[in-house]
A and B are shown apart, each in its own frame.
Chain A
Amino acid sequence: MIDIMFSSLFAMLSSPHIMGLMLLGVFLGLIVGVTPGIGGRLSIALAIPFVFGMDMVGGAVFLLTMHAVNGTSGQISSIMFGVPGDGDDAATVLDGYPMAKKGEAGRALGASITASGVGGIIGAIVFAIMIPIIEPVVLAFSPAEFFLLALLGITFIAFISGRGNIFKGIIVGFYGMILATVGMDPQTGTARFAGDYLFLWDGLSLVTAVLALFAVPEMIALGVKGGSIAAVSLEGTRYSYRQLLEGVMEVPRHWWLVVRTSIIGAVIGMIPGLGSSAASWFCYGHAVQTSKTPERFGKGAVEGVIAPETGSNSREGGSLLPTLFFGIPGSSGFAVLMGAFLILGIQPGPKMITEQLPLVWTLIWALVVGNLIAVIFLLFICRWVAMLTFINGAMIVPFIVVLVAVGSYINEGRWENLLILVGLSAIGYGLLRAGWPRAPFVIGLVLGGIAEKSLHTALALWGLDFFLRPLSLVLIGLIVATIGFAVYKSMRPSKALEESGVVP
């Protein structure tokens, strides 16, 4: 394993192609992280058409680094203007913005950017350490179990993104799965749901479907919202590089907190179902809990900036583990990333350990090197990157829509995909408007074909006894337990509501 570990690093660093793609991924990831309306999921969805046909390693490194550094720049607007980029950055606002208001924006930024980078690196290390530990579990799965793993993946993502209603998420996941059956059936040669339309015989275009469900609805919503956040104060943008350096030095000064919150974040990332912002909130709470002076929190404590940022970014490394080895994404962003990986030909599961270990190590190194580059890059340019926050949302929309249309067309060169894009976008926008989750759709769509093949194989090998195999029973148990817990959680009013007397 040691030789694979270092040969992967050497191969990556010595390849101008891969390093170029990584730099591009870091640059784009930082830009989209701070641009209003374009989150990690959307940026991956937009990039998919352009990595289509690219070599597996290059495409995966590009997408992963882009996704991983997204949160590093997202925190800038949280600190400078008190406007969180997404849910992950909300915890950083609590102490970051008060620091900026006290004239310590540079210190807060230096600390948060460095903490974020270090967190990302420690998260990748934790993932690397987990490989030999998780190996026997991963190898216990046969390809035949993939059907149940796909159902488990949909259940977890439905739980994370369902906002209290797991059934909506599962319905959306099944919608993706049933759309995956469109096209020629490999068993009987029947053209399913395709009629006489030849372009559907190869199945629905994954790229078009992902763009339609994510990119178009987000852009319509951004266009509807319009405007920029010009109303906020620019006071926080004034700082010196000396302040920034002071902030950088806060990270080694609080090294024990950084290590602890990084490990917490990575472990949370490994557990699908905890949600993407859980790591930053948990780490913030942990910093308050373990501080000797907890009364400083909420008023500009630097630990309140360091803890959520390390936790949030180390989660990326942790989330890679269930995504790559079990096909169960740890967050909705990873659901889209997994879809992109499958399009590139990366098949999650035991083969990642038996045949694709060099790729796994390349991705781990990509996280480490990508985060390092992002930190160095951002420390120099964060002042200017922050200005992107003020871009009027309505100005971004047409350019993204053009990219979406081009992306939808170029991967198969068929104009019919544009019609599919409009049709599926309407459903995607309906889901967004009604507050339904969309991430399970990607899991259903990308895993649908593999799940069907695996179900046929499993039934051919073991018949209906397949469902009684120990591993199958464990997976079925997990699915039932997740649904049961979600239903229990949605029926039970929150403790805070009880305490406040709203609920008797």
Chain B
Amino acid sequence: MKSSIMKYSNSFMTVVMLAVFVVLVGLASGYPPGARFMPFVIGIPAIALCLLQLALDARERRRGETEVSDTRSELEKVEEKVARVAGRRVDFQISHEFMQGVGPKFSPEEMVRRETVLWGYFVGFIAGIMVFGFWVAIPVFLVAFLRFQAKSSWLFALGLGMGASLLMYFGFARGLGVVLHTGFITDYVLDLLG
């Protein structure tokens, strides 16, 4: 399941890249010769490479089940790597689990759910900055993320989130004199409030 998702996301990326290059080359064709030269020099070979990659992806999918996959463990790969240089095999004491890496493994559905949530936070944060400005969006985002995503207690999330926001405010705005975006409606609301 995971490998088929990987294969399709591979082709999906190739299609995205192909679309980007086709659009850019198409747009460039309307420019004067000097201006379209470089986009053509880069874009046309890139389109050819994307088509080649699509063909390779299709070939890989067709081979599908008959394909020979490398099922060796990480430790076996390491043993081979060392043996190739050293000319002899080393008997490692370290367990297979450690070489596979420590960390949770999720089902593809759970991965997509988690990714959607994370993207929601990110896009929401950027939208918050645009509408309400950095100094409103930062503490709200930090506290919300720490409380609901990192599962911290309210006290910890509020303390760390507000503390970090204040630190950033005094560091950037007061200390370095950096002027950050104040948001499309924050100034308007503040004006209304007098």
Contact partner, A430, options B12, B27, B34, Cβ 8 Å: B12
Residues of chain A in range 221-237 having any CB-CB distance to chain B below 8 Å: 223-227, 229, 231-232
CB pair B180 A406 closer than 8 Å: yes
Q: In the complex, are the beta carbons of A401 and B125 less than 8 A apart?
A: yes
B13 interfacial contact with A, CB 8 Å? yes
Residue of B nearest to A223 (CB): B118
Q: With contacts A175-B17, A175-B20 known, is A285 near B38, CB below 8 A? A: no
Q: Answer whether A285 and B16 are a contact pair too, CB < 8 Å, given A401-B125, A410-B180.
A: no
Contact with A398, one of B77, B82, B123, B141 (Cβ below 8 angstroms): B141
- Chain B residues with Cβ below 8 Å from A288 are 82, 85-86, 88, 90
Provide the main secondary structure of the chain B interface: helix
Whether A93 contacts B94 by the Cβ 8 Å rule is: yes
With A185-B35, A282-B85, A289-B87 already in contact, the answer to whether A170 and B49 are too (CB < 8 A) is yes
Bound-complex Cα distance A433 to B141 (A): 25
Does A297 sit within 8 A of B, measured CB to CB?
A: yes
Give per-residue flags for B165-185: 1 if the beta carbon is below 8 A from chain A beta carbons, else 0.
000100010000011110000
CB distance from B128 to the nearest CB of A (A): 10
Contacts of A401 in B (CB 8 A): 121-122, 125, 141
Contact of A496 among B72, B92, B129, B150 (CB under 8 A): B72
Partner of A405, one of B13, B27, B102, B129: B129
Q: Identify which of A168, A229, A405, A425 contacts B53 (C-beta below 8 A).
A: A168
A239 contacts chain B at the CB level, 8 A cutoff: no
A185 vs B31: C-alpha distance when bound (angstroms): 10
User: B150 and A410: CB pair below 8 A?
Assistant: no
In chain B between 22 and 54, which residues have their CB closer than 8 angstroms to a CB of chain A?
24, 27-28, 31-32, 34-35, 37-39, 41-43, 45-46, 49-50, 52-53
| Complex contact A167–B53 (CB within 8 A) | yes
Tell whether A125 is near chain B: CB-to-CB under 8 Å: no
Cβ–Cβ contact A167 & B56, under 8 A: yes
Q: Which of A168, A170, A229, A493 contacts B68 (CB 8 A)?
A: A493
Residues of chain A with a CB closer than 8 A to B150's CB: 392, 394-395, 397-398
Q: Which residue of the partner chain A has the closest CB to B145?
A: A398
The answer for the CA separation of A452 and B43 in the assembled complex, in Å, is: 13
Size bracket of the B interface:
35 or more
Separation of A409 and B129 alpha carbons in the complex (Å):
10
**Does A178 sit within 8 A of B, measured CB to CB?**
yes
The interface stretch among A12-20, A187-195, A463-471 is A187-195
Q: Does A127 contact B (CB under 8 A)?
A: no
Q: Which residues of B contact A (CB under 8 A)?
A: 6, 9-10, 12-14, 16-17, 20-21, 24, 27-28, 31-32, 34-35, 37-39, 41-43, 45-46, 49-50, 52-53, 56, 68, 70-72, 76-78, 80-88, 90-94, 98-99, 101-104, 106, 111, 114-115, 118-119, 121-123, 125-126, 129-130, 134, 138, 141-142, 145-146, 149-152, 161, 164, 168, 172, 178-181
Complex A-B: 17 CB contacts under 8 Å: A98-B93, A170-B49, A178-B39, A220-B119, A224-B115, A226-B104, A232-B102, A281-B81, A286-B85, A294-B90, A392-B150, A394-B151, A399-B164, A406-B180, A415-B130, A418-B181, A431-B13
Given contacts A97-B98, A224-B118, list 14 more A-B pairs with CB under 8 A: A83-B101, A93-B99, A167-B53, A220-B118, A288-B85, A405-B126, A409-B134, A410-B180, A415-B130, A425-B122, A455-B38, A495-B84, A496-B76, A497-B70
